[in-house]
Chain A
Amino acid sequence: MSTLHLVRQSAFASNDFAQCLSVLDHQDSVVLMDDGCYNLKHSLMDSLIKRVDGSVNINVITSHAQARAIEIIAAVNAIEMSDVVELTFTHKKVITWQ
């Protein structure tokens, strides 16, 4: 049962992202959107990338990161909102972390 995780909050301000990572399965996908984009610079992100080693699909909404002057790192896919719609079809369920 694959899950799509929509992360909308900064891990520097709430522990939503930490909770998301604690239930993350290897076939899941993560989308960082809105203030969730700030998590690209969080230490949780570094440990996530090391832990999953490419098995979990990690995405960020390009315009949301760009608006916040956040650099998109190579380990993460830059996607558009329309791609999120696609992702909701390719996963069994969706959890929004906000």
Chain B
Amino acid sequence: MTSIEQQSSSSAQENGLAIINSKAPFSSTHGKDALDIALIFGSFEQKVSLFFQGDGVYQLIADQDGSLLAIKDYLKTFSAFEFYDIEDIYVCQQSLSNRQLDENFHIDEVKVLSSIEFSAALNRHQHVLRF
């Protein structure tokens, strides 16, 4: 009985969009594109979850300053996520430790997940976009 209930509750969560960020912030427009998509879905009240994996974790690290590179610093817009009801932000713990990074992020409400938890969270989503 319990397993059936768990199944139905997990299938109930099988909705919404997952966006995987896998690129470092400044050398390409991938991060900005992912952000734009997330905010568009958010403004139409569609459920969006953000996943940060590989070099994508650099997008969340504190004390960065894109203005030094004459780049418009889109990372500052991450602080608007709460106004778009984007609350599920997941970071791969393995990717952080590989890069000797601390869990020191420039936004709050970031959830650091182990590889297994990270893949489980991703697999709860029906649609996935990877940048």
0/1 per residue, B64-84, Cβ < 8 Å to A? 111111010000000000000
Q: List 13 A-B contacts (CB under 8 A).
A: A10-B24, A12-B98, A13-B23, A13-B55, A35-B27, A41-B101, A63-B68, A67-B26, A67-B65, A67-B66, A68-B26, A69-B62, A69-B65
CA distance in complex: A13, B63 (Å): 22
* Contact with A41, one of B62, B65, B99 (Cβ below 8 angstroms): B99
Say yes or no for B128: interface residue by CB 8 A criterion. Answer: no
CA distance in complex: A10, B22 (Å): 12
* Contact with B64, one of A8, A12, A13, A69 (Cβ below 8 angstroms): A69
| B residues adjacent to A (C-beta < 8 A) | 23-27, 54-55, 58, 61-69, 71, 98-101
Contacts A13-B24, A35-B26, A63-B69 given; does A68 touch B99 at CB 8 Å: no
CA distance in complex: A27, B62 (Å): 37
Question: Which A residues lie within 8 Å of B55 (CB)?
Answer: 10, 12-13, 35, 38
Contact (Cβ within 8 A) A68 B100? no
Question: Which A residues lie within 8 Å of B24 (CB)?
Answer: 10, 13, 35, 38, 68
Interface residues of A in 31-54 (CB under 8 A from B): 34-35, 38, 41
Contact (Cβ within 8 A) A38 B58? yes
B16 to chain A, nearest CB (A): 27
CA distance in complex: A69, B104 (Å): 11
Question: Which A residues lie within 8 Å of B63 (CB)?
Answer: 69
Question: Which B residues lie within 8 Å of A67 (CB)?
Answer: 26, 64-69, 71
Say yes or no for A64: interface residue by CB 8 A criterion. Answer: yes
Say yes or no for A66: interface residue by CB 8 A criterion. Answer: yes
